Amino acid sequence: MAKRFKTVGITARSDIAELEKIVKNVVRILEEASVDIRLDSKRCLLPTLRHIARYDHVSELDLLIVLGGDGTILRTVREMDDFTVPILTINRGTIGFLTEITSSSMEGMLKQFLMGHGKIEERSLLSVVALRGKKKLWEGKVLNEAVIAQGAISRLIDLKTSINGDPLAVFHADGVIIATPTGSTAYSLAAGGPIVHPKMKATILTPINPHSFTQKPLVLPAENEVEVTILTKQSKFSDVHVSLTLDGQTYVTLERGDIVRAKIAKQTVKFLRREEETYFTTLRSKLKWGERLQRVEKDD
């Protein structure tokens, strides 16, 4: 068996049912392929696999296998220290929009990938920084989106937005979403944003329930930097607040005058995929495109 990857790491969602059994099965397949195996030192502390070496940094690997759903993938990407290492995803979640291998096809497909079959698909990352004066509240990269929004109470907020320093608009809205093409099928889509093919280099700016009907989503060239300044005033409602949410998992509380800047990063995240096109298949299966037509054809 020709080896494309010498050192392969495994990370997983820690609360997966029968996690140890699933990881042991993956380890068995990797051992049969004679690759060097490393387990996530934080999330794969499994008693029966103590003999397997651990990894602390993705840079130690040639390939990283992720067991979980989209949330696990988003967390993994956000924590990566080396974006040159490709990711192979095995779905153990619910929808699994970003995942490549299903549980039922895992053994056969994993062996094929280890033999060198498959292609590398690059996805854009969004580089985000949140500032309070000269202080950095948060800085990092996300795969899907950065969301600036009001809290649980339904109160509109004012967000002054500019592109490359050129004023665009003050959005009087529930918030704004700054998304990558990968993130265009996540929260941005639910807020009325467009679906953008992940191979495109672009940033999607989607206002959330804007007060003005003329403020619509924008698709911007990747080299553009979006800057959002929080203009929300002090309110008598103590539960009105603004937050920055990164990929739906990391939260930063924002105040009046805070600034969020976002731009497509120079680095890309690399996914190991099947050689055939799967994106449109994913749209049909996960978003139920064409479902009504199929029902009509069956009725005929």
Q: How far is CA 251 from CA 146, 242, 244, 248, in A?
A: 10, 10, 6, 8
* Annotated catalytic residue, options 40, 70, 247, 258: 70
- The token duo for 45 is 């502390």
Q: Does the annotation mark 62 as catalytic? A: no
Cα–Cα distance for residue pair 26/24, rounded to 1 Å: 5
Cα–Cα distance for residue pair 257/265, rounded to 1 Å: 25
204: helix, strand or coil: strand
Mutual angle of helices 106-114 and 19-32, in 10-degree steps: 40
3-state SS string for 155-188:
CCEEEEEEECCEEEEEEEECEEEEECCHHHHCHH
Q: Which residues are catalytic?
A: 70
